[in-house]
Amino acid sequence: MISTAQILYGTSFALIIIGLYAVLSQRNLIRIVIGLNVADVGINILLVTLGYIEGGRVPIFAPGQPTTNWVDPVPAALVLTAIVIGFGVTALMLTLVMRLYAKYGTIDASRIRGLKW
Amino acid sequence: MVSPMLFIIAPLAAAFLMIFINRRGAALALSLLTPAGLAILGVSWLPATLVRAQPIVVASIKAPLGIPLSLDALGAGMAILVAVSSVLIVLYSSSYIHRGHHEVRYYAVVMILLTSAFGLVLTRDIFNLFVFFEILCISSYILVSWEQSGAALEASFKYMVLGSIGSTFLLVSIALAYKAAGSLAMADIAVAFDSAPRGYVIMAAVTFLFGVGVEAAIFPVNSWLPDAHSSAPSSISAILSGFVIELALVVTFRVLNTVFAAVDVLPLLQIIAIAGVLVGEFSAFGQKDLKRMLAYSSISQIGIMLFALSLGSTAGAQAGLSHLLMHAGAKSALFLIAGYFILRTGSRLIDDYTGLGYRMPVSAALFGLAALSLVGAPPLFGFFTKFQILAAAAATGGGLAWFGIASILSGTVLEAVYLFRVIRVLFAQPAERSRVEMDLPALVSVALFTALVVFGALLLPSLSSMIGPIADGLATLH
Amino acid sequence: MYTQALLALPLVGFVVTIVLQGTARRSPAILKTWALLAFVAMAAVATLAFPEIGDTYTGPMVFGSSLSIGLTDLSWWFVMMIAGITVLTSFFTLGALRDTGTYPMYYGWLFLKVFGMLGLVMSRDLLTFFIMWEIMSWATYFVMQQGKEEGREAALGYLVYAIVAGMVLLGGVLFIHQSAGSFEFAVITAYMAKAEFGILLASVLLVLVPFLIEAAVYPAHGWLPSAYASSETSMTAYLSSISTRMGLFGLILFVFSVFGLKAIDRIGISAHLNLRTILLVLAALTAVLPTYTALFQHDAKRLLTWHSIGQGGYMLLGLATASTLGTAGGLMHIFNYMTYVALIIFSIAAVEYRTGTTNLNKLGGLIVKQPVAFLGMLFGIIGLAGIPPMNGFVSKWFIYRSLILGGYPFIALAAFIATVGTIMSVYKLIHNTFLGQLPERYNDVKEVGLLMQLPIWILMGVVFTTGVFPGLILQWIAKIQVGMGIVPIAWTLGGVAREAGDLNMMVVTAVFMATFAVGAIIFFIGGKRRIVSQYDNYAAGHFLNKDVPYNFNYNFYSAFDHIFEKLYHDAPVQTAIRNLGRFVRMVADYVRRFFTGQINTYAAYYVAAVIIALAILKEIP
């Protein structure tokens, strides 16, 4: 029997690997950015899964609610931060891709090789 | 008492303040005074930290709920280095950076970079480290692409892709650590890893090493460095090569050595370091572009420092940190002078600097001194630090250590040849042309950096009393 | 006290020279005078320091041991040589160095180089020795930079060898320090006396190889000719006379004092097949091959730089025998070569000063225009060729004798062969410069001024006096030999008394002079001679005029050149070293390709690094 957590771990590692594979194999800068985003999503799922407890409860203090069997709130906080940072980086990256396109007239990584050796 | 939190708050506040005021004068004043004040604070705190690390309580919440920060001797030392370097580099920037070209924002981003640099040495929380790491990366990306030329954009993009992969791995490592320890505080993680399965810790250590290591430019995740450091404005190259990669190296090594202590990563680090030395020196050897040459030299110098640290002996750690100080001075001076060479000739190619030494005699002389120190020519500072490293390696003994010594020695031969070639070009064919010396603020800044590498050897005796506790910061988590 | 002052003086000189840089162009006399005065003061202090021989002075602590300097008999002897030749050179430059503005740091780097050399010979521990060695090396590079444009590339060639030597030496210093546990010479000596063979061998090799490179011993001599010949001419004299010998100083110091001859002789399989035998063979090759290369040079400076290598071979021959006579010969040859090579190059500089060239194909007949320079060169080449009554004969005689008595007849034969080459090449030198016909364009050439003549006269005096009274030098050498652990030579004023054969140079000189007098009498009394114009002559069946001059000057020895070409043009060792350089450049070019510029590759490195690191860590227990 595969638990939910196992499925989630599997998904997250698959996403990370798919994302990295995209960065390795794609020439198109936009696709590279997308690849990084996919990997990011994988990481976020991984983090959330860490705090996940089968049948756990939302960790909110409220009158009358028991404080046991909470899912861990810390990874959720981490994921929020990571998402924000990821968003910022992605925006910056896409800006750079636009500027690069204006300069080079292409977004093919194999042609944007002014700097090498 | 003033809290060391100022190290994080003050530059951040200065950054927002200068954007808000949006005046060149105010921005310059803020970005000079903030690090200068912090440098003074750092020096005043150093004696206390030499005795005992100063834990910092944020918003009255103690660990484990709050974010643990701590100022130990290593942190204070690095903070002073960063603060002093950035004062000098801002001084240089005041005459180097084009006026009007969003100049205020430039200083603001530099201040944000400082925030993250200080944060990295203070934090004792692994996720907080990730946040500061990201801030450091993002501000570096922006500064690298500052000139908006094709090369700058390209370099910045490559840097960004590698940095993002790095942060992905870093997050994997953090996830593994959190799963093992149920806490993000480094101290708790270290305890948890002591009893965790070995394969698990190895996985976490390696992802951490290459996660943060991307900013420290360790081999082989350093391929962004020659592009970024050579395409950035020279003042930024000086920041990046002068203290950012060193700082990242120290942080990487400190965390690996204390938090991931359950796995002996030192042999791996030695191999990486030696490979970095050789690849860096060989790649620099045939370069025609001065800044790119200096960037490759940074790769090899980082390798030398990492080699020293990863010897695992106290002598090695102390020697590595001394070398770090020397390299910060020498490489900053070299990049800053190279900036004016480019400004005055409009070219980055060494061959175009023929006879420039007669037009900029003081700059060229300072360049020569810094280069000599980098090569390790006695009686300059560089000789003593390099010798210390080699002696520490010899004391460690073993095949890998002696192979490292041989690599550093042969790397030095290459380094001497390519740096002396630059000096030779500078003083070729006396040109009877007008003097185009650097502007005064830049000259003062470069002269002070060079003074460090020339007279640094005189610091060694007084340094030797402090270096013990400072190097201890690499081995134990305070 | 004088010992420290001696070391401080050149450093002060360096600083003052930098301060005075601004005056270099407008009034060069200020710098020149300052340099001369400082160097004279240095020589005076060096003389005064004589009573301090044997004392050691410690300096700042570095790495847990203090840097120390002090004088021994050996180092005082070298200090005096350095001081003497430096004073003479700086005096010579008063007149010879015309465009100080072009060579702004000539004196500055000279001061620093002198500092390095003095520090080197006075160092009393391994660390000081290495620091001074490095300072000397890079100061030498900068000194060479103060010359013509084409010379600067050659200086870079020197730098490569010097840095390689320096780094090997640094490896040696680290290794010895690690093994013996100290930088102090005394501790190292004690340790090496009973060190394991492997450690001893590694230490000796790591230390000796740099010395052999600096001393330009075959096959590591390739850097010297270009680097020296294209320096400023007065600097060529300085470099040739003393700079190269620093390598030999290191060799003497380490072989005889620091390691000790006993330890050195443990390296080998028998008394006649050991490290010293290898040194002897290398020395013989150094004496023969460069000397025959000198034969075919068409530039006076370049020709002499090849002799600087070759004569270094003689010195090493003498020293490597480790016998009383041999070491005396080797040590004395260092002094002798310094005096006569400086003399010859000063004479050449005098010619260059007036004619603007040192090209042997273009000069000739200058004896009538520059008789003092001619006399200087004549005295010098008699010394260089090892002919009585000049001092070169004495040292060479010692070396030959020690080789024969030591049981190395073939090595001795090589030394004789080298001497034949020396004589041939110095004949070419003096013939092509001063003899033969005077080209029309040099009709207005005059003798150089008194300032430049004086050093030439002084050196002529020294070369002759120490040739007739070698005892003047041998008394010091006997003292040095005691310090080296060798039976001191039984010297007399005219040479040696015992040592399997007398040498009394006073008698030799008297006989020589008497023969000379007989020749002169025949010449002057013999009658029929008539002074004619230089064109009242014929050569190769052709009458001469100013359009068709006497033709021997051009490509002198080209016939031999044709025969021996193969020997030195494509010498296998030189080719190998060149190919090594090419190989390094090639490797560098390939390594650079690592940074492909494409982001995908970089990402791949990243992933590969993680995987490989995981694999490595799994393997490490």
Q: What's the pLDDT at C448?
A: 87
Do residues C557 and C602 share a domain?
no
Do residues C349 and C406 share a domain?
yes
Do residues C431 and C539 share a domain?
yes
CB-facing half-sphere around the CA of B407: CA atoms within 13 A? 27
Mean pLDDT of chain B, nearest integer:
90
A87 falls within a domain:
yes
Domain count, chain A: 1
A115 falls within a domain:
no
C481 falls within a domain:
yes
Q: What's the pLDDT at B87?
A: 95
- For residue A12, give how far its alpha carbon lies from the nearest alpha carbon of chain C (Å): 17
Rounded distance between C-alpha atoms, residue C232 and residue C106, angstroms: 9
pLDDT reading at C543 higher than 90? no
Mean pLDDT of chain C, nearest integer:
87
Q: What's the pLDDT at C100?
A: 55
Looking at B60-74, B358-372, B404-418, which range is the least confident one? B60-74
Mean pLDDT of C26-53: 89
Rounded distance between C-alpha atoms, residue C585 and residue C165, angstroms: 19
CB contact under 8 A, C600 and A20: no
Contact B167, B226 (CB under 8 A): no
Chain C residues close to B227, C-beta within 8 Å:
595, 597
Q: Which long-range contacts (CB under 8 A, 24 or more apart) does C252-256 make?
A: C252/C74, C252/C319, C252/C331, C252/C484, C253/C74, C253/C129, C254/C204, C254/C207, C254/C208, C254/C211, C255/C208, C255/C319, C256/C322, C256/C327, C256/C484, C256/C485, C256/C486
Q: What's the pLDDT at C563?
A: 74
A116 falls within a domain:
no
Domain boundaries, chain B: 264-478
pLDDT reading at B432 higher than 80? no
- For residue A63, give how far its alpha carbon lies from the nearest alpha carbon of chain C (Å): 49
Domain count, chain C: 2
Q: What's the pLDDT at C548?
A: 67
Do residues C530 and C382 share a domain?
yes
Distance from the first to the final alpha carbon of chain C:
58
State percent of chain B over pLDDT 90: 62
3-state secondary structure of C270: strand
pLDDT reading at C101 higher than 90? no
* CB proximity B167 to A under 8 Å: yes
Question: Which band of pLDDT confidence, cut at 50, 70 and 90, is reported for residue B385?
Answer: very high
Query: For residue range C361-385, what is the model confidence (pLDDT) as tens digits?
Result: 888 888 888 999 999 999 999 999 9
Residue reference for tokens 């020519």: B377
A42 falls within a domain:
yes
Q: What's A50's domain CATH number?
A: 1.10.287
CB contact under 8 A, A32 and C599: yes
Mean pLDDT of B117-139: 92
A109 falls within a domain:
no
Q: What is the largest CA-CA distance in chain B?
A: 72
Chain A residues close to C604, C-beta within 8 Å:
24
Which of B:265-304 have CB within 8 Å of A? Answer: 283
pLDDT reading at C173 higher than 60? yes
Chain C residues close to B461, C-beta within 8 Å:
60-61
A43 falls within a domain:
yes
State percent of chain C over pLDDT 90: 45
Looking at A27-41, B338-352, C144-158, C176-190, which range is the least confident one? C144-158
Q: What's the pLDDT at B430?
A: 65
Do residues C483 and C607 share a domain?
no
State percent of chain C over pLDDT 70: 96
Residue A57 forms beta bridges with which residues? Answer: A70
Mean pLDDT of B109-115: 95
Q: Which domain holds residue A41?
A: 4-104
Residue C71 forms beta bridges with which residues? Answer: C53
Question: Which band of pLDDT confidence, cut at 50, 70 and 90, is reported for residue A40?
Answer: very high
State percent of chain B over pLDDT 70: 96
Q: What's the pLDDT at C499?
A: 57
Rounded distance between C-alpha atoms, residue B32 and residue B70, angstroms: 25
Q: Which domain holds residue C595?
A: 588-621
Rounded distance between C-alpha atoms, residue C425 and residue C409, angstroms: 25
Q: What does pTM read for this prediction?
A: 0.93
Contact B143, B239 (CB under 8 A): yes
Nearest CA in chain B to A21: B165
Do residues C409 and C536 share a domain?
yes
Q: What's the pLDDT at B292?
A: 93
Question: Which band of pLDDT confidence, cut at 50, 70 and 90, is reported for residue B431?
Answer: low
Backbone angles phi and psi of C36, in degrees to 5: -60, -45
A117 falls within a domain:
no
Mean pLDDT of B344-358: 88
- For residue A42, give how far its alpha carbon lies from the nearest alpha carbon of chain C (Å): 16
C340 falls within a domain:
yes
Give, for B401, the enclosing helix (H) or strand (E): helix B399-426
Residue B349 forms beta bridges with which residues? Answer: B289
Do residues C551 and C614 share a domain?
no
Residue reference for tokens 């002798």: C336
**Per-residue b or e along A80-114, where b marks 16 or more CB atoms closer than 10 Å to that residue's CB:** eebeebbeebbebbeebbebbeebbeebebeebbb
CB contact under 8 A, B172 and A46: yes
Kindly list the residues of chain A whose beta carbon comes within 8 Å of any beta carbon in chain C: 20, 23-27, 32, 109-110, 113-117
Mean pLDDT of C336-364: 90
The conformational region for residue A55 under phi > 0 = left, psi -120 to 50 = alpha, else beta, is: left
Q: What's the pLDDT at B33?
A: 93
C599 falls within a domain:
yes
Do residues C547 and C618 share a domain?
no
DSSP state of B346: S
Do residues C471 and C327 share a domain?
yes
Contact C466, C495 (CB under 8 A): no
Question: Which band of pLDDT confidence, cut at 50, 70 and 90, is reported for residue C54?
Answer: confident
Of B449, B242, B239, B446, the C-alpha closest to B362 is B446
Query: For residue range B244-297, what is the model confidence (pLDDT) as tens digits?
Result: 999 999 999 999 999 988 788 888 999 999 999 999 999 999 899 999 999 999
Q: What's the pLDDT at C96?
A: 82
Q: Contact partners of B by the rule of 3+ C-beta pairs under 8 A?
A: A, C
Chain B residues close to A97, C-beta within 8 Å:
157
Mean pLDDT of B317-342: 94
Spell out the residues 6+ positions from residue C562 whose beta carbon is closer than 8 angstroms to its own.
none
Burial class, C111, CB count within 10 angstroms (exposed 0-12 / middle 13-18 / buried 19+): buried
C104 falls within a domain:
no
Do residues C604 and C550 share a domain?
no
Q: Rg for chain A (alpha carbons), in Å? A: 19
Question: Which band of pLDDT confidence, cut at 50, 70 and 90, is reported for residue A30?
Answer: very high
Rounded distance between C-alpha atoms, residue C172 and residue C211, angstroms: 12
Assigned token pair, C459: 């050196």
Mean pLDDT of B151-155: 92
Question: Which band of pLDDT confidence, cut at 50, 70 and 90, is reported for residue B59?
Answer: low
Of B262, B268, B260, the C-alpha closest to B306 is B268
Query: For residue range B11-51, what is the model confidence (pLDDT) as tens digits?
Result: 999 999 999 988 888 899 999 999 999 999 999 988 888 88
Q: What's the pLDDT at B337?
A: 95
Question: Which band of pLDDT confidence, cut at 50, 70 and 90, is reported for residue B63?
Answer: low
- For residue B424, give how far its alpha carbon lies from the nearest alpha carbon of chain C (Å): 7
